[in-house]
Structure 1
Amino acid sequence: MLKEGQVRIPSGCAIAAIIDKKGNPINGSEIIKSIALMHDRSNGLGGGFAAYGIYPDHKDDYAFHVFYDTKDARQKCEEYLFKHFNVDVAERIPTKKVESIENGPDIWRYFGKPNRVRMRDARMDEQEYVVQCVTKVNANFDGAYIFSSGKNMGCFKAVGYPEDVGEFFMLDHYDAYLWTAHGRFPTNTPGWWGGAHPFNILDWSIVHNGEISSYDANRRYIEQFGYKCTMQTDTEVITYLFDHLLRHHELPMDVAADVLTAPEWDEIDRMDDERKEYFTNLRAIYSGALVNGPFSVILGSNKGLLAIN
């Protein structure tokens, strides 16, 4: 008989999170140590981190982190960004050579504010304007991927073990009051830089362990509202579901979590009348947002942390 530790069971990825509720800074070395403890739950095909509070000098700007596969992709993406945003800083994200991480894209970041004239002409509020711009780049600009787009926060990810990714991005040079981390073990989606976790839109970031068996239904539901799933992995859709429910429908955080994790009908039938009505309404109204499958999710945001499974 094989005992635990004698056989590798590919049951999913590794996730971790740290928060200082008073907003005090935590060095990136701490989250690297945390996720490194789960090294055996990754296979080197993706690792990443989200950090909140890391750009105090640009706290009112959107920080766009972008992967570029070619110089042409960067030229076209920058032309679009500079047209739609007032960009104060454009620079490569500092990295260091790590033997296990190679053949990566060119990685840049931009700090800027929406172009008010274009935003007014588009008849969108600021956040919707940013989401639509990010969506257009990721769906239509070959070789350019905006993988982080929040204020005073940023995602850092790559193909590699998470502790190596943390070293690659020199996260020990960053302090944040909230960190999330992910070590990937992809089972049915490709291991590539854009597909590593976290997934992000605006200030929302998601790290996920498990498999979303309802992905196609969730994708069809969310793409009705202008989102595009372009990163070739099931986790991306969870980020957009939370953004839609919390920002467009203005649901409380706990209600949005109940939408994604609503109970089965036979369990609802056994509830008291008040809870039965509540979950019946959620499942009826948001049937396409119900997420099925074995999973654990950590949602990071400027409002704090939420964990569901």
Structure 2
Amino acid sequence: MSAIANMHVRGNGLGGGFAAYGIYPEYKDYYAFHLMFTGSNSDAKRSAKQDFDVFLCENFDVVYDEEIPHGDEATVSDPPLVWRYFVAPRKCGDETNLSDDDYVVMKVMHINTKIENAYVFSSGKNMGCFKGVGYPEEIGEYFMLDRLYKAYTWTVHGRFPTNTQAWWGGAHPFSLLDTTVVHNGEISSYGTNRWYLEMYGYACTLQTDTEVIAYAADLLMRRQKLPIELVAKILAPPIWNCIDRMNERERRLFTALRMVYAPLLMNGPFSIIIGQTGKMIGLTDRIRLRPLTAATRGSMFYLSSEEASIRLISPKLDSVWTPNGGEPVVGKLNNMT
């Protein structure tokens, strides 16, 4: 939390959040659903939870559930009821043809579009997101992250919303299964990206452009099994005059990518950090209109908008560099035990 607190002035207190990997080893084989239930009062929030619980028990086996531990509600703005469930899919009929992950995605989309005031904001295994309205260090303290959890990968974000409202679901990270995204920038192609993703069953309900990046990563990397090197060239493709100067093999490849995946081009300035099980990926737009710094120290790998936040927690670094625009930088964990 000290690293993100060092970048306090990058946000305005209208959104902060964390993603943590490896925090539920005792339930590592189950999907960890983090839910927020909103409403004008506690009765409305409890009513939303009751509606959700009925749906959940019809579609999943619930191993354990509890309210996510938190501090004094007076320290944050209008907190929802936040609950976690550890579940296993209960498929029937044609649903048995789906993979567990596809089943979970389908149900998450149903919940977020059909059950009023209930939102799944984290749904992976052995990981979880914690987010809300406030500065990230305030959200971290509210959920007592430094006292309750140990993780092998952390990502964190401080929000400065420019054209969307501040609400708990709109804070970063955005998550689907084990993929999480934190994002600095503005995606002007949101409408086109959203319409394309809707054709594949993704419903954007959380009122911000970053949501499409999380769903695009899930579609391309999990469902279509594309390597991150190609995914980067879909989200931040080289411009046409660069493609024209490539050798024939590369020119045909990148022309095909731009034609097939044109609606997934992320137009506008951005730098993103994608978290996945055992992996962390950094990517910027092709001309680096938003900053991203990478660094290593021993076996530790860091990504940040500012070098200062990295050096605050690791003053003596082995290497520090600025990734090229549109080129992914990837850190992989060899051992997650």
TM-score (norm 1): 0.87
| 1:161 counterpart residue number | 135
Hey, what does 2:111 align to over in structure 1? 137
Assess, with a 3 A threshold, how the Cα gap between structure 1 residues 62 and 119 changes in structure 2: closer, same or farther.
Answer: farther
Aligned to 2:158: 183
Deviations 1:157-194 (A, max 9, x none): 00000000000000012100000000000001111000
Equivalent AA in structure 2 for residue 149 of structure 1? S
Please say if 1:254 is aligned against 2:229: yes
Q: What is residue 290 of structure 2 aligned with on the other side?
A: none
* Counterpart-to-counterpart distance in 1, 2:278 and 2:234: 19
Higher relative contact order (CA 8 A, sep 6+): 1
Asked if 1:34 is matched to 2:3, the reply is yes
After superposition, give the CA deviation of every residue in 1:211-258 in whole Å (9 maximum; x if it has no partner): 001100100111001110000000000000010011221111221122
| 1:306 paired to 2:284 | no
**How far 1:264 moved relative to its partner?**
1.6
Q: How does 1:1-309 map to 2 (within 5 A)?
A: 32-69=1-38, 70-97=45-72, 99-116=74-91, 118=92, 121=95, 123-172=97-146, 173-309=148-284
> Structure 1 241/120 Cα, relative in aligned 2: closer, same or farther at 3 Å?
same
Asked whether the 8 Å contact 2:75–2:142 carries over to 1, the reply is: no
Residue 5 of structure 1 corresponds to: none
Are the structure 2 counterparts of residues 97 and 129 from structure 1 closer, same or farther at C-alpha, using a change threshold of 3 Å?
Answer: same
Three-state SS of the structure 2 residue aligned to 1:154 is strand
Offset at residue 121 of structure 1 (A): 3.9
SS of equivalent residue, structure 2 residue 155 = strand
Q: Structure 1, residues 261-308: CA drift from partner, whole Å, max 9, x if none? A: 111212222223332222111101111111110000000000401110
Q: Supply the distance in 1 between the matched residues of 2:54 and 2:137 (Cα, whole angstroms).
A: 34
For 1:237 and 1:186, locate their aligned partners in 2 and report how far apart those are by CA, in whole Å: 16
Which amino acid counterpart does residue 150 of structure 1 have in structure 2? G
Any conservation in 2 of the 1:98–1:167 contact (CA below 8 Å)?
Answer: no
CA RMSD of the aligned region, Å? Answer: 1.2
Q: Distance in 1 between matches of 2:159 and 2:73?
A: 18
For this pair of structures, how many residues does the alignment match? 277
Cα distance change on mapping 1:300 and 1:230 into 2, 3 Å? same
Amino acid at match of 2:250: R
Secondary structure of 2:66's counterpart equals strand
Identity %: 51
Deviation per CA, 1:115-153: give whole Å up to 9, x if none: 14x275453111000000000000111100000000000
Q: Contact between 1:92 and 1:109, CA under 8 Å: does it hold in 2? A: yes
The answer to whether the 8 A contact 1:98-1:164 is kept is no
In structure 2, runs of 5+ residues without a counterpart are 39-44, 285-337
269-278 or 255-264, which deviates more = 269-278
The letter of the residue matching 1:202 is L
Give the conservation status (yes or no) of the 8 Å contact 2:73–2:79.
Answer: no
Instruction: Tell me how far apart the structure 2 counterparts of residues 119 and 101 of structure 1 sit (CA, whole Å).
Output: 44
Alpha-carbon distance between aligned partners in 1 of 2:2 and 2:66, rounded to the nearest angstrom: 28
Q: Which consecutive unaligned segments of at least 5 residues does structure 1 have?
A: 1-31
> Is 1:119–1:129's contact at 8 Å kept on the other side of the alignment?
no
> Structure 1 residues 243-252 or 202-211, which shifts more?
243-252
Partner Cα separation in structure 1 for residue 119 and residue 189 of structure 2: 25
- Tell me whether 288-297 or 267-276 shows the greater mean CA deviation: 267-276
Q: Is the 8 A contact 2:95 2:103 kept in 1?
A: no
Out of 119-128 and 295-304, give the one that drifted further. Answer: 119-128
- CA distance in 2 between partners of 1:162 and 1:119 (Å): 43
Letter in 1 for 2:145: L
Contact kept, 8 Å, 1:206 with 1:238, in 2: the verdict is: yes
Select between 230-239 and 94-103 the one with higher mean Cα deviation.
94-103
Structure-2 separation of matches of 1:229 and 1:246: 19
Separation (CA, whole Å) in 2 of partners of 1:42 and 1:87 = 37
